[in-house]
């Protein structure tokens, strides 16, 4: 039986528009029209959804756990999940909310401006997740992504993580950046949650926000002290740094020309987790994940295992 990974978090229908001409600093101004010259796509999005798609690309069996409305967008979500080969049994529907959508305007250097609307995904709560479903009985790991933008679920994550780890399920976590007005309360909750996590996947800004530190080394020490098994710190074009109680090393990034940075961090997370669940060392996980992110940035594709490993040679 293939390994089963559950991913939990936001799910959007993303309308990505490429090659938006918005100046060298990529800023939009009111009262002006902007044009794109590199096409567009309509795809599933959201941190946990991106991780699901990349894990599926790497051969893992994947189930997505999330929430939509009961509208035409919900039907489109299920159709797109089916096309991706991702199990949708744990996607709940709420007729009082609209399915979440996003419009991402992507500039010539891969930077983007995103606009999100529709509240269904944001209102995902612990009560929406059927922990008695048989999929929880046979999953190897579970990933929570973008949970800082889902306040109802985020407030219950320590309780949820405790239940999952008591069943032997490994928890992987990347809540992303907290909204500024909620950061203080969220910081305290995060420390309680990390005690149950196998792996934590912040970027540098998220790590510093989560610890209220200005020094990365101090921040890493604090986070590792919570009890999390490892921290995979994403450094963008500089690669990544892995920190545990006994290890601390950096893997340099591949130097590529960026087409789009959308989903690169999620591609990294998914690749790292899939290799980790297969028993690879932390160093090998980091090397494969860094390579996968470079391919995603430079080609705007979700790379399979053969592509990643051939690129690494």
Describe the strand order of the beta sheet including 248-251 as a list of residue ranges. 87-93, 61-68, 4-9, 141-145, 170-174, 199-200, 230-234, 240-243, 248-251
Closest CA to 264 of 288, 231, 292: 292
User: Which CATH superfamily groups domain 4-23+36-307?
Assistant: Ribokinase (3.40.1190.20)
Domain coordinates in residue numbering, the chain = 4-23+36-307
How far apart (Å, rounded) are the C-alpha atoms in residues 313 and 295?
Answer: 14
Which residue ranges of the chain lie beneath pLDDT 50? 1
* pLDDT for 110: 74
* pLDDT for 183: 57
In order, the DSSP letters of 194-213 are HTT-SEE--BHHHHHHHHT-
**Would the pTM count as exceeding 0.85?**
yes
* pLDDT for 111: 80
| 92 contacts 67 by C-beta, under 8 angstroms | yes
The tokens describing 218, both together, are 């101090």
* pLDDT for 1: 44
DSSP state of 238: G
* pLDDT for 195: 96
* pLDDT for 269: 98
């Amino acid at each position: 039986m293939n390994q089963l990974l559950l991913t939990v978090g936001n799910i959007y229908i993303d309308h990505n528009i490429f090659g938006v001409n918005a100046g060298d600093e990529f800023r939009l101004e009111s009262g002006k029209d902007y044009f794109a010259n590199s096409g567009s796509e309509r795809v599933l999005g959201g941190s946990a959804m991106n991780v699901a798609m990349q894990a599926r690309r790497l051969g893992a069996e994947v189930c997505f756990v999330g929430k939509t409305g009961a509208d035409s967008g919900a039907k489109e979500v299920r159709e797109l999940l089916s096309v991706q080969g991702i199990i949708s049994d744990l996607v709940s529907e709420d007729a009082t909310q609209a399915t979440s959508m996003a419009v991402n305007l992507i500039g010539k250097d891969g930077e983007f401006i995103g606009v999100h609307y529709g509240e269904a995904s944001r209102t995902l709560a612990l009560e929406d997740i059927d922990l008695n479903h048989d999929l929880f009985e046979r999953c190897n790991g579970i990933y929570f992504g973008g949970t800082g933008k889902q306040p109802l679920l985020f407030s219950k994550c320590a309780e949820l993580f405790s239940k999952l780890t008591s069943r032997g399920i490994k928890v992987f976590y990347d809540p992303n950046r907290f909204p500024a007005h909620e950061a203080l309360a969220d910081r305290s909750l995060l420390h309680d949650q990390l005690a149950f996590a196998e792996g934590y996947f912040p970027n540098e800004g998220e790590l510093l926000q989560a610890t209220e530190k200005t020094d990365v080394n101090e921040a890493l020490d604090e986070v590792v002290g919570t009890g999390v098994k490892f921290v995979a710190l994403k450094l963008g074009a500089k690669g990544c740094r892995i920190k545990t109680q006994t290890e601390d090393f950096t893997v340099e990034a591949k130097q590529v020309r960026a087409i789009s940075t959308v989903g690169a961090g999620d591609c990294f997370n998914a690749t790292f987790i899939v290799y980790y669940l297969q028993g690879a060392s932390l160093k090998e996980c980091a090397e494969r994940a860094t390579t996968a992110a470079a391919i995603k940035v430079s080609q705007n594709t979700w790379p399979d295992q053969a592509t990643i490993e051939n690129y690494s040679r």
